[in-house]
Amino acid sequence: MNMLSAVQLIPGVNSSKKQMCFDWGPGEMLVCETSFNKKEKSETVPGCPFIYIIRKDVDVYSQILRKLFNESHGIFVGLQRIEEELTGKSRKAQLVRVSKNYRSVIRACMEEMHQVAIAAKDPACSCQFSSQVSILSAMELIWNLCEILFIEVAPAGPLLLHLLDWVRLHVCEVDNLLADVLGSENPRKHESFWKLVTILVLQGRLDEARQMLSKEADSSPTSAGMCRILGDLMRTMPVLSPGTTQTLTELELKWQHWHEECERHLQDGTFASSPHLESLCKIMLGDEAALLEQKELLNNWYHFLVTRLLYSHPTVKPIDLHFYAQSSLDLFLGGESSPEPLDNILMAAFEFDIHQVIKECSIALSNWWFVAHLTDLLDHCKLLQSHNLYFGSNMREFLLLEYASGLFAHHSLWQLGVDYFDYCPELGRVSLELHIERIPLSTEQKALKVLRICEQRQMTEQVRSICKILAMKAVRNNRLGSALSWSIRAKDAAFATLVSDRFLRDYCERGCFSDLDLIDNLGPAMMLSDRLTFLGKYREFHRLYGEKRFVDAASLLLSLMTSQIAPRSFWMTLLTDALPLLEQKQVIFSAEQTYELMRCLEDLTSGRPVHGEPDAQRLQDDDIETTKVEMLRLALARNLARAIIKEGSLEGS
Amino acid sequence: MEEIYAKFVSQKISKTRWRPVPAGSLQTAETFATGSWDNEENRVSLWSIGDFGNLDSDGGFEGDHQLLCDIKHHGDVMDLQFFDQERIVAASSTGSVTLFLHHPNNQTLSVGQQWTAAHYHTSPGSPSCRSAPCTGVVCSNPEIVTVGEDGRINLFRADHKEAVRTIDNADSSTLHAVTFLRTPEILTVNSIGQLKIWDFRQQGNEPSQILSLTGDRVPLHCVDRHPNQQHVVATGGQDGMLSIWDVRQGTMPVSLLKAHEAEMWEVHFHPSNPDHLFTCSEDGSLWHWDASTDAPEKSSLFHEGGRSSIFLFHSISNQANVHQSVISSWLSTDPAKGRIEITSLLPNRTLSVNSLDVLGPCLVCGTDAEAIYVTRQLFS
């Protein structure tokens, strides 16, 4: 396993000549050279002009590991939804199934990585992939052991069967060898024949070993008898068969008999003439020296441990495991080498010290994926309840937060991180709030996805901020319609006012409205801000006027001023709009309405102190404006006269 | 719908499209294209679900789709359409539109034609323009129509370097999708709940017709037209609603169907079996709507394991004026009959299903969970 990475040098940076500065980010670190010089030297060394981004979680960027992250995300979410009511057996079965799913994802990933490593042309590249394969393989090995010990909680008896499966799964070169030997013309003469048989026995695959022995017996009459006897011993070895009612005591008794029989054959020298068979028999007796002779075939101490248990303590209790594990490790290493991180992790597992397992894994592995998911699963097995950290929340949450933060640092995997934060009850929400604001919103579609995440979680502050960002962008791009839509969605009255003002300004400049499709269909959203209401109503006035519904248009126009919805700066425009209505053949403004209009005009021209000088000043300065006012006054007076006559004559008739 | 194959592809899939089969041939779909988004380097890829010379006839790898070839794409792939058998048009978030050529001989993709800055924003005061994402594209050989966040509609021809026709400011909001109604008329949907019909024969930048959802102005994200009855149009909105429109009459949808819980990203009528409709959504679901009336014992029950969802079906306009001629099953809005059966096609909810496509008995969809799902037995 490629663990505990040493000091990493950043290419191009010389920290012995230049002072460095750095800044932490969520998943990354910025490093650059400063212009300060050590030792007061003059600036002779050319500086490095770059700012480096150092990523701590490199694995996130692996194309193949992305599949692991994505696929396991689905399993993770499924696990969180497992009904809490499920208890006892069904719950355990569910959890074991989940654990197996996780492992199969690791395996799939490992196989693909292996294929890529083989196919890679560049040796350095190939080496990198191979080291990834070994890391994945170690992860699966640890996970599998944890599954047996902590999730399955296998009792004495079945425990050993599980451990055997575990070893068989991870020491799998034998299958290639088996195919190789059986595929050869004369298997018995194959150079690795005895090696194969020995491995089969070491792994407890006695049926297969027996078949191989029968081949030997068929072709060599001298050893046929011995092979038959050893074969019989293999056949009669008592094993626990799941599903039977056999008790452990019965098994132990039978096993004791069988063991004694093997012992007797060895002492009688039954196999004395064949060193191969004799060594096999010794293995089957659990003879430590004989086992250690096969060190190379055993590969590692945990294989040694399991084989040793198989042939000397087949009904080992979980509680005694650590004792055998420790002695196996000591015997196997024999003081020649010190245990590696992987050995320590497995040993901690055999000691049932979950926290130590997680701690060692966190230190040794280069990503948070493994510890985060394993801890979460063990937490669902209710194994971590008591443990609280002195910082943040509990360990499960701490690890999940670390993992999810790593995902958020990635330009594309951030979406996965959201669900992990969701299942961190204490700090998940705040973390999500902090991270989600930092997602770059390159397109509206992406923004919509981020918005949906925030809206589903009632993160109103973030929703507002995203809509505001989009509205600002739209304004900058001169897309007023879009900007208005976004500020309506954010319910941002101030911004809606600002955009409405832009619309009105454009109208004053061009004399026509843009984006009618939006303004005509504002609906209830119009009530968001006074200015927006005015914009919508003013446009409605234009529509009524266009449809020649003059009476409605006139009363709407007047109400815009009297109800103070229209900004005062716009009144002159409104009054000018009234001019053609005043000049129509039929009387449109009633006498009362005309009085109102006159009052509005007087309000505007008298330059009331509330409104300040500039407006009045401007009105007086501008000749055109004065003429306009004169025209208005004339039109209003004439209309008033006509209205009084009309109203009077109507009443009269 | 037993066999649905998933493959994780290490990129978030924004679009999936079947390559059309030659008209009149008996071939079934076997090649599809995908586009990715939100990656540091996005790609347009071609995949095959073929049997590779029947090597896998024992069923071993039959359903697994294999990568044929791929090519780098600048920006997110916002939309993807097959122009013909060998050419694919991709819309980019950088505002460009690219025509890719597929060379079947050596299985490679190359850029055939590119219209850079097809969509752009003009900033007030400065002459420079910023690119705007192109959100939708539709092809009808030799024409290509694109729409974008800039509210612009472009009409390209494969052999012309410049746009044949551009409608600036066609929409005040973002245009989300486009489809052909009948040449030369197109349909667009926008982010304020409007469906607009444009006629390229008319000059000016006004649509020939505007239809809209009333009230909340819910953004519409996708649109598809009934393959045989060209007046029947389906759209999907931000609230997950499926709307069926009859563009011949009224300005409102004929029916509104409560569907997904989040944005409906795509809606597709089955091209040869249009009583079937498919929708996918941000909420991670993919639905099959079956409105065929001949199916025996149809119930309006919602067929999805354990999930209880209210299935609202309300008609807006009554159909008193229907002619004796063929009535589309999508326009008959008699809730009592409850003639639509809905099936959820994905086994468990994942992240957003961004795109889907159907052709014959085959369906392909792509998700933000970086998986492509393919099934070849839609109606079994």
Closest CA in chain B for residue A446? B38
Q: State the pLDDT at residue B119.
A: 93
Q: What percent of chain B has pLDDT over 90?
A: 52
Query: Please, what's the b/e burial string for A270-309 (b: 16 or more CB within 10 A of its CB; e: otherwise)?
Result: bbeebebbbbbbbbbbbbeebbeebeebbbbbbbbbbbbb
Using an 8 Å Cβ cutoff, are B359 and B20 in contact? yes
Across the interface, whether the CB atoms of A477 and B368 are under 8 A apart is answered no
Across the interface, whether the CB atoms of A478 and B215 are under 8 A apart is answered no
Across the interface, whether the CB atoms of B122 and A524 are under 8 A apart is answered no
Closest CA in chain B for residue A521? B217
**Which pLDDT band, with edges at 50, 70 and 90, does A335 fall under?**
confident
Angstroms from B296 CA to nearest CA on chain A: 36
Q: Which residues of chain A does B171 touch, with a Cβ-Cβ cutoff of 8 Å?
A: 481, 517
Across the interface, whether the CB atoms of B369 and A74 are under 8 A apart is answered yes
Q: What percent of chain A has pLDDT over 90?
A: 32
Q: Return the minimum-mean-pLDDT range out of A296-305, A347-356, A471-480, A576-585.
A: A576-585
* Burial status of residue A214 (CB atoms within 10 A of its CB: 0-12, 13-18, 19 or more): middle
Distance of alpha carbon B46 from alpha carbon B69, whole angstroms: 5
Q: Which candidate from A74, A445, A479 shows the least CB-CB separation from B350?
A: A74
Q: Which residues of chain B does A71 touch, with a Cβ-Cβ cutoff of 8 Å?
A: 8
Using an 8 Å Cβ cutoff, are A225 and A330 in contact? no
pLDDT for residue B295 is more than 70: no
Q: State the pLDDT at residue B363.
A: 93
- Nearest Cα neighbor of A217 from A207, A208, A229, A206 is A229
Place of tokens 């990585």: A113
A-B contacts at Cβ under 8 angstroms:
124
pLDDT one-digit tens code per residue, A487-504: 888 888 999 999 999 888
* Burial status of residue A173 (CB atoms within 10 A of its CB: 0-12, 13-18, 19 or more): exposed
Q: State the pLDDT at residue A651.
A: 58
pLDDT for residue A412 is more than 70: yes
Across the interface, whether the CB atoms of B172 and A524 are under 8 A apart is answered no
pLDDT for residue A41 is more than 80: no
More confident residue, B268 or A611: B268
pLDDT one-digit tens code per residue, B114-144: 999 899 988 766 666 789 999 999 998 889 9
- Interface residue ranges in chain A relative to chain B, Cβ cutoff 8 Å: 63-64, 66-67, 70-71, 73-74, 78, 411-412, 415-416, 442-446, 448-449, 452, 456, 476-482, 485, 514-518, 521, 523-525
More confident residue, A551 or B126: A551
User: Which amino acid, A398?
Assistant: F
Could you count the other beta carbons within 10 Å of the beta carbon of residue A444? 25
Across the interface, whether the CB atoms of A477 and B130 are under 8 A apart is answered yes
Q: State the pLDDT at residue A25.
A: 67
**Which pLDDT band, with edges at 50, 70 and 90, does B60 fall under?**
very low
**Which pLDDT band, with edges at 50, 70 and 90, does A614 fall under?**
low
B93 touching chain A per CB within 8 A: yes
Using an 8 Å Cβ cutoff, are B240 and B256 in contact? no
Q: State the pLDDT at residue A610.
A: 45
Angstroms from A434 CA to nearest CA on chain B: 20
Distance of alpha carbon A460 from alpha carbon A546, whole angstroms: 41
**What residues have CB less than 8 Å from A640, skipping those under 6 apart?**
A591, A594, A595, A598
User: Which amino acid, A10?
Assistant: I
pLDDT one-digit tens code per residue, A192-235: 888 899 999 999 999 999 988 888 888 877 888 888 889 889 99
Closest CA in chain A for residue B350? A74
Cis peptide preceding A49, ω within 30 of 0: no
| Average pLDDT of every residue of chain A | 85
Question: Quick one: tokens of B213?
Answer: 């959802």
pLDDT one-digit tens code per residue, B69-112: 999 999 999 999 999 999 999 999 999 999 999 999 999 999 99
pLDDT for residue B191 is more than 50: yes
Q: Which candidate from A448, A485, A521 shows the least CB-CB separation from B212?
A: A521
Distance of alpha carbon A543 from alpha carbon A539, whole angstroms: 6
Q: State the pLDDT at residue B280.
A: 95
Using an 8 Å Cβ cutoff, are A574 and A561 in contact? yes
Section A151-159 average pLDDT:
89
**Which pLDDT band, with edges at 50, 70 and 90, does A510 fall under?**
confident
Closest CA in chain A for residue B170? A515
Angstroms from B125 CA to nearest CA on chain A: 10
Beta-bridge partner residues of B44? B35, B71
Q: Which residues of chain A does B77 touch, with a Cβ-Cβ cutoff of 8 Å?
A: none
Q: What percent of chain A has pLDDT over 70?
A: 89
pLDDT for residue A322 is more than 80: yes
Section A503-532 average pLDDT:
82
Q: Which residues of chain A does B190 touch, with a Cβ-Cβ cutoff of 8 Å?
A: 517
Distance of alpha carbon B151 from alpha carbon B172, whole angstroms: 6
Distance of alpha carbon A41 from alpha carbon A113, whole angstroms: 50
Closest CA in chain A for residue B12? A412
Across the interface, whether the CB atoms of A411 and B39 are under 8 A apart is answered yes
Instruction: Give Dmax over CA atoms of chain B in angstroms.
Output: 67
Distance of alpha carbon A337 from alpha carbon A304, whole angstroms: 16
Q: Which residues of chain A does B124 touch, with a Cβ-Cβ cutoff of 8 Å?
A: 478
Section A611-637 average pLDDT:
71
Instruction: Give Dmax over CA atoms of chain A in angstroms.
Output: 144
pLDDT for residue A22 is more than 80: no
- Choose from B7, B9, B10 for mutation: most chain A CBs within 10 A: B10
Residues 137-156 of B with CB under 8 A from A: 149-151
Q: Return the minimum-mean-pLDDT range out of A435-439, A468-472, A553-557, B297-301.
A: B297-301
Q: Which residues of chain B does A445 touch, with a Cβ-Cβ cutoff of 8 Å?
A: 37, 76, 78, 133, 135
Q: State the pLDDT at residue B296.
A: 44
Section A61-84 average pLDDT:
87
Q: State the pLDDT at residue B132.
A: 93
Q: Helix A395-409 and helix A354-364: axis angle, to 10°?
A: 20
**Which pLDDT band, with edges at 50, 70 and 90, does A365 fall under?**
confident
Q: State the pLDDT at residue A601.
A: 87
Across the interface, whether the CB atoms of A514 and B169 are under 8 A apart is answered yes
Q: Which residues of chain B does A526 touch, with a Cβ-Cβ cutoff of 8 Å?
A: none
DSSP, residue by residue, A182-203? HHSSSGGGSTTHHHHHHHHHHT
B352 touching chain A per CB within 8 A: yes
Compute CA A522 distance to the chain's CA centroid, rounded to the nearest angstrom: 39
Q: What is the pTM of this model?
A: 0.85
Section B235-252 average pLDDT:
89
pLDDT for residue A421 is more than 50: yes
Terminal-to-terminal C-alpha distance of chain A: 108
More confident residue, A10 or B309: A10
Q: State the pLDDT at residue B22.
A: 85
Across the interface, whether the CB atoms of A482 and B149 are under 8 A apart is answered yes
Cα distances from A161 to residues A310, A353, B163, in angstroms, run: 9, 22, 72
More confident residue, A141 or A33: A141
Q: State the pLDDT at residue A462.
A: 93
- Choose from B149, B208, B372 for mutation: most chain A CBs within 10 A: B149
Using an 8 Å Cβ cutoff, are B244 and B206 in contact? no
pLDDT for residue A137 is more than 60: yes
Query: Tell me, what's the ipTM?
Result: 0.89
Angstroms from B191 CA to nearest CA on chain A: 8
B210 touching chain A per CB within 8 A: yes
Q: Which residues of chain B does A78 touch, with a Cβ-Cβ cutoff of 8 Å?
A: 348
Section B311-315 average pLDDT:
39
